[in-house]
């Protein structure tokens, strides 16, 4: 009887001990003790055909255990507003008052960032946000994806992939709520979307469900049972304050929603839900000129833009397939066959 009671008391003490004393949080070479923040770099070694790269990260580790929120910026190298927002958030999130942990990837696609390329990596011509979950023995983009999957997504409970219009995309802010995960993951994702506070939400029902071919970063989390968002704020390689502030405000809303901080902005009450959306693409390589602006409302059949050959001969008029709002439109002339010219959304499914 007495031995039994002692064993129970000991077990309770051990359980309480592990619950209250946070362990250090380690991501790659970065170790953050409870109540501290730490930054460092994960090296991605070279393989034949490339020079390798690195992944600048930070870990902000609270004093109490809780959610692990991953924030990833710079998946596309000319998307600067999220990169700048993470610099501000790195300084603003106080680990001493934080519950849980924030992992930041400051610039996910350093090869593209340093070469100032849009869409594709200069190392392998791949779009990093189309090669998830990545491959340990693959091309450089595939290896970056594999490290982000293993070191960041697998360690997180919630993931936000922070984008803006790429260097050629004039974009009005919106985020994607992805509905294809398990019902409880989709519902948690919906609540994250509202907490982020952006007033236009694209309802995305078409992401793959296979965890081994998740393709997109946020979908890599969702296919692993973790709620995630992709957000878009900014564009055209600009660094406007409003777009940066919108991301800071969004993360503050999420920290409150996830009970990682006590104060913060409330969820948005009545966002515009875009039930239908379509990426419009060019059938030709040539010179593109937009006929609309971001945020413009257009009728079905309205001309979105025109592609000419290099001598000025009209090749194609791209028209709206349904009435809706222009979420982004390409704002620079260079155009390759099959590439996007714009993105349209409608509240009517
Ligand atoms: Zn992007």
pLDDT tens, position by position, 4-58: 444 444 444 444 433 346 899 999 999 999 999 999 999 999 999 999 999 999 9
pLDDT at 6: 46
Given a cut of 70, the residues of the chain with pLDDT beneath it are 1-21
Residue percentage of the chain with pLDDT more than 90: 93
Distance from the alpha carbon of residue 232 to the mean position of ligand 1, in angstroms: 8
Ligand 1: distance of its center to the CA of 76 in Å?
5
Structure tokens at 326: 């222009």
Residue with token string 């984008």:
163
Ligand 1 center to 272 CA (angstroms): 22
Residue 285 CA to ligand 1 center (angstroms) comes to: 22
How confident is the model at residue 20, as a pLDDT? 47
Output the average pLDDT for the chain. Answer: 94
Per-residue confidence (pLDDT) for residue 21, from 0 to 100: 60
Q: How far is the CA of 118 from the centre of ligand 1 (A)?
A: 9
CB distance 68 to 23 below 8 Å: no
Q: 273 CA to middle of ligand 1, Å?
A: 21
Q: What digits encode the pLDDT tens for the residues 232-268?
A: 999 999 999 999 999 999 999 999 999 999 999 999 9
CA of 179 to the centre of ligand 1 (A): 20
> Which tokens sit at 142?
């595939």
126 CA → ligand 1 middle, Å: 13
Long-range contact pairs involving 295-299 (C-beta distance under 8 Å, separation at least 24): 295/172, 295/325, 295/326, 296/325, 296/326, 297/323, 297/324, 297/325, 297/326, 298/323, 298/324, 298/325, 298/326, 298/344, 299/323
- Contacts of residue 269, Cβ cutoff 8 Å, sequence gap at least 6: none
Burial class (CB in 10 A: 0-12, 13-18, 19+), 66: middle
Whole-angstrom distance, CA of residue 296 vs CA of residue 215:
30
C-alpha 303/C-alpha 292 separation (Å) is 8
Q: What is the pLDDT at residue 297?
A: 98
Cα 82 to averaged position of ligand 1 atoms, centre (Å): 10
């Amino acid at each position: 009887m007495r031995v039994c009671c002692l064993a129970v008391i000991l077990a309770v003490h051990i359980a309480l001990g592990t619950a209250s004393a946070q362990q250090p949080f380690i991501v790659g070479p970065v170790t953050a003790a409870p109540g501290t923040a730490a930054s460092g770099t994960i090296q991605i070694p070279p393989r034949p055909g490339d020079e390798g790269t690195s992944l600048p990260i930070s870990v902000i580790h609270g004093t109490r255990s809780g959610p692990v929120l991953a924030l990833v910026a710079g998946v596309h190298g000319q998307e600067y507003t999220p990169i700048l927002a993470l610099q501000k958030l790195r300084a603003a999130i106080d680990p001493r008052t934080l519950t849980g942990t924030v992992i930041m990837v400051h610039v996910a696609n350093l090869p593209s960032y340093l070469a100032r390329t849009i869409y594709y990596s200069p190392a392998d011509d791949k779009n990093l946000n189309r090669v998830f979950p990545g491959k340990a023995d693959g091309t450089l983009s595939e290896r970056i994806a594999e490290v982000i999957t293993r070191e960041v997504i697998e360690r997180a409970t919630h993931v936000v992939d922070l984008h803006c219009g790429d260097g050629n995309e004039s974009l009005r802010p919106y985020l994607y709520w992805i509905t294809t995960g398990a019902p409880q993951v989709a519902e948690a994702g919906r609540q994250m979307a509202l907490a982020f506070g952006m007033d236009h939400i694209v309802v995305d029902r078409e992401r793959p469900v296979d965890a081994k071919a998740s393709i997109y970063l946020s979908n890599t989390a969702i296919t692993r049972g973790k709620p995630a968002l992709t957000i878009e704020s900014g564009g055209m390689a600009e660094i406007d304050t409003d777009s940066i502030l919108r991301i800071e405000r969004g993360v503050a809303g999420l920290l409150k929603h996830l009970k990682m901080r006590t104060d913060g902005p409330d969820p948005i009450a009545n966002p515009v839900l875009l039930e239908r959306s379509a990426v419009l693409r060019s059938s030709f390589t040539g010179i593109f000129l937009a006929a609309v602006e971001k945020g413009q409302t257009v009728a079905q059949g309205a001309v979105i833009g025109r592609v000419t050959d290099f001598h000025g001969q009209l090749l194609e008029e791209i028209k709206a397939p349904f009435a809706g709002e222009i979420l982004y439109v390409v704002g620079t002339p260079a155009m390759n066959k099959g590439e996007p010219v714009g993105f349209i959304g409608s509240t009517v499914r």
